[in-house]
């Protein structure tokens, strides 16, 4: 379960103080599909980065599965992030010099998964998102929808309980957008907790709960 208690985030620079989030309380139960919905600049991505342990709050507490993340050292936070959280971004962030298969393998390599096991799991995940015939391609040979499906397979590599998606269909056409949302809905039905950032009310409708920001 995710719990945020009075979480705030302020950025400081060159005598300028920018408050992005202030006194946020948020609970996400295991198995939920939650959308953070709102216009650009309202703090959705900042909140997602805090949830994903990419950034830290200026104030307040963030508990992830009964762990107070504010008491964790950087190495402990990295371990939590690697074990429990899968990220999906609008810009994909695939490594251009690695094949589709190796992009999916990479998180498991960092996690110390044995080579045979990680290759087998990567092949299974790519089959699940319909990319068996593309696994030896470089990302430059993929369409936008194929890149995002690769990114989803990579996000699932280490069996994360939580999937955080930041505008996951923002750069895709309608057909690919629908396919990605069907995949995310299917993952939620299998038990993954999903938190998705979107400015699209129609996409937010796929979730079981919408949080207006």
Summarize the confidence of residues 155-178 as an average pLDDT. 93
Query: Domain of 11?
Result: 2-212
Q: Model-level pTM?
A: 0.92
Summarize the confidence of residues 66-91 as an average pLDDT. 93
Q: What are 114's two structure tokens?
A: 């044995």
* Model confidence pLDDT, tens digit, residues 105-135: 999 998 999 999 999 999 999 999 999 999 9
C-alpha angle 117-125-209 in degrees, rounded to nearest 5: 125
* Model confidence pLDDT, tens digit, residues 15-63: 788 999 999 999 999 999 999 998 888 899 999 999 999 999 999 999 9
Count the residues in the chain.
213
- Whole-angstrom distance, CA of residue 213 vs CA of residue 87: 21
Q: Residue 85 pLDDT > 90, yes or no?
A: yes
Q: What are 65's two structure tokens?
A: 């599965």
DSSP track, the chain: -EEEEEEEEEEEETTEEEEEEEEEEEEE-TT-EEEEE--TTSSHHHHHHHHTTSS--SEEEEEETTEEGGG--HHHHHHHHHHHEEEEETT----TTS-HHHHHHHHHHHTT--HHHHHHHHHHHHHHTT-GGGTTS-GGGS-HHHHHHHHHHHHTTT--SEEEEESTTTTS-HHHHHHHHHHHHHHHHTT-EEEEEES-HHHHTTSSEEEE-
Strand 193-198 relative to strand 209-212: parallel, antiparallel, unpaired? unpaired
Count of domains for the chain: 1
Mean pLDDT of the chain: 94
Give the pLDDT score at 189.
95
Give the pLDDT score at 41.
83
Q: Residue 4 pLDDT > 90, yes or no?
A: yes
Which CATH number do you get for residue 156? 3.40.50.300
């Amino acid at each position: 379960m995710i719990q945020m208690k009075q979480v705030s985030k302020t950025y400081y620079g060159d005598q300028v103080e920018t408050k992005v989030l202030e006194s946020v309380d948020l609970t996400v139960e295991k198995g939920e599909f939650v959308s953070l919905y709102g216009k650009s600049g309202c703090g959705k991505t900042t909140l997602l980065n805090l949830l994903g342990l990419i950034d830290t709050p200026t104030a307040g507490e963030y508990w992830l599965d009964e762990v107070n993340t504010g008491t964790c050292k950087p190495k402990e936070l990295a371990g939590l992030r690697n074990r429990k959280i899968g990220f999906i971004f609008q810009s994909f962030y695939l490594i251009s010099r690695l094949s589709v298969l190796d992009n999916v393998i990479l998180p498991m390599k960092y996690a110390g998964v044995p080579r045979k096991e990680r290759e087998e799991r990567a092949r299974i995940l790519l089959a699940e998102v319909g990319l068996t015939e593309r696994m030896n391609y470089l990302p430059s040979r993929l369409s936008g929808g194929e890149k995002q499906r690769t990114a989803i397979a990579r996000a699932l590599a280490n069996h994360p309980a939580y999937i955080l998606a930041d505008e996951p269909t923002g750069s895709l056409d309608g057909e690919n957008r629908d396919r990605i949302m069907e995949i995310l809905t299917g993952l939620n039905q299998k038990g993954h907790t999903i938190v998705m950032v979107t400015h699209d009310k129609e996409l937010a409708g796929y979730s079981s709960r919408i949080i207006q920001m």
